[in-house]
A and B are shown apart, each in its own frame.
Chain A
């Protein structure tokens, strides 16, 4: 006769109490598993939405990039070519170069077989004080377009300024009340105003444009320029700047090249901002997921212990009823010399079996509930996705311990009964 054997026979004898106890454990186990499953399904779903969103963004970005590539192929972009040895930080700071290069560079470039650049504009730019007017201006000497030797002459993009004429930025003609045709002294030389530009809100507003040769004479920089503006460049590849640099370095070694704002750049910016927007959406989604999860977690944090305690109380009560039912049995056991420890063990083994049965029942019924109600409550996830084998095992192992704890007090009470008291009342 083994204690386990006796416990099993007792269970078979008092089935109702056993089944109710198992049910009590199963409810606790199921509540735990289902609460967990609910949390898991929310997480999984948001994760899926986020993954979906990320794929969408990536595809969208790819299509934008493709788009840009197509556009850029046909779209001209502009570059500045600066003299060798020019400190570029100075260029970004002041807007023009302090170093100069020979004007023949333009001719050299124009006569080369370079196919990527459509228009070439040599300029000489310098900040000077306009002594006659006591103000600082930017003086730009322009020559107009240099015809490309190997191609038919094209319509020039920028009208050159003829000798003896100047074009004025808004701030200048506005402040000095000058209009086209007026004559004005600049660096001891008389010029006729050929053009008054509208307000642009940039350095252009304090700029004077004049003929390049005249500008070189005035600034004492004969035959020199400090930038070449190359307009409507075209490239086959995306990394166009590198491609142009490669070509130019062969013709004008040492020169520095930067890109001037273009439509293509604007497109790239739009692409960037689309990417940022998508990232923002994903971040919002994630924070919504976290908030929902926190909400459900706090609900579970309340519900699980509550059901746990109810189930604990249930098992405790059912065990107490069981010990009451068996009190005469306990009296006899004690009278014939079975020790209290063995009687305690007898009850605890029963509780262990209750916990094991209840745990398995709980796992199975949870799986069943997820299967049946998966569409309504668990976002259509499968049992395998929401109930890990580990969790199920932990439940099946933990529930017997839980049941033993719950039944400890009544079991202990039973094992400490006074047999004389029980037998005398026979």
Chain B
């Protein structure tokens, strides 16, 4: 069939709220994320980007269509199996960094140990944090870091688990241009080294780093 890391076919997802009734967030979307890909997903607010990202990340079960990650449909797995599957294959980065406020930089990155297979990631983490320029911040709490540093910690956490796919939702949204560029560089680097990145973004600079651009409007992909 295909050796795409993520293969989305005819994905449709709608929400139903009491106030507005049924909202079609994503309609019949096809998308492939291959090894070495760095996709920038763009579109106006409310067009369904986050919904698509969550569905692609085994976090949101679609109404119709199929999501295959490394050839497997995560929504056919049980809850605990799907958790383990996510821990093994996917890394997430969000606009607000979701760092645990009472854990140090090192501990935040090491969190994936709790979910992981139990393999030793300490050396990998140390190297990664060095690469992200965080070596001097290992014992700091998130509140003691700059926002750029915080996002780099989140990025390190997404990568260190050994995942080959990173799903990022506006990772540079809270960062200044300089810090944003650094994050984009790291993501591009990750893709070049055999990973794959699907990133939702409004960042103008994203164009300089992403290898592919996908535009969405009203829940549909209009240009690949």
User: Which chain A positions have C-beta within 8 A of B91?
Assistant: 336
Instruction: Give the B interface residue count (CB, 8 A).
Output: 36
Cβ-defined contact, A426 with B95, below 8 A: yes
User: Which chain B positions have C-beta within 8 A of A6?
Assistant: 100, 103, 114
Chain B, residues 39-52, CB within 8 Å of chain A (1/0): the string is 00000000000110
Cβ-defined contact, A1 with B114, below 8 A: yes
Q: Which of A100-122 contact B (CB under 8 A)?
A: none
Known: A332-B98, A426-B94. A339 touches B115 (CB 8 A): yes
B210 to chain A, nearest CB (A): 21
Chain B, residues 134-171, CB within 8 Å of chain A (1/0): the string is 00000000000000000000000100010000000100
User: Which chain A positions have C-beta within 8 A of B50?
Assistant: 423-424, 426
Query: How many contacts A-B (CB < 8 Å)?
Result: 90
In the complex, identify which listed stretch (B79-87, B179-187, B188-196) lies at the interface while the others stay far away: B79-87
Cβ-defined contact, A426 with B100, below 8 A: no
Closest to A331 in B: B98
A328 contacts B by Cβ under 8 Å: yes
Chain A, residues 328-353, CB within 8 Å of chain B (1/0): the string is 11011111111111100000000000
User: Which chain A positions have C-beta within 8 A of B94?
Assistant: 423, 426
Known: A9-B103, A13-B101. A336 touches B87 (CB 8 A): yes
Cβ-defined contact, B98 with A340, below 8 A: no
Closest to B114 in A: A338
B51 to chain A, nearest CB (A): 7
In the complex, identify which listed stretch (B53-61, B65-73, B201-209, B214-222) lies at the interface while the others stay far away: B53-61
Instruction: Give the A interface residue count (CB, 8 A).
Output: 27
In the complex, identify which listed stretch (B4-12, B16-24, B30-38, B104-112) lies at the interface while the others stay far away: B104-112
Cβ-defined contact, A337 with B110, below 8 A: no
> In the bound complex, how far is the Cα of B143 from the Cα of A180, in angstroms?
129
User: Which chain A positions have C-beta within 8 A of B96?
Assistant: 328, 426
> In the bound complex, how far is the Cα of B204 from the Cα of A150, in angstroms?
147
A199 contacts B by Cβ under 8 Å: no
A-B contact pairs, 15 of them (CB 8 A): A14-B102, A328-B98, A331-B98, A333-B114, A333-B115, A335-B86, A336-B86, A336-B111, A338-B83, A340-B79, A419-B59, A420-B59, A423-B94, A423-B169, A424-B51
Which B residues have a C-beta under 8 Å from some C-beta of A?
50-51, 54, 57, 59-60, 79-80, 83-88, 90-92, 94-96, 98, 100-103, 107, 110-116, 157, 161, 169
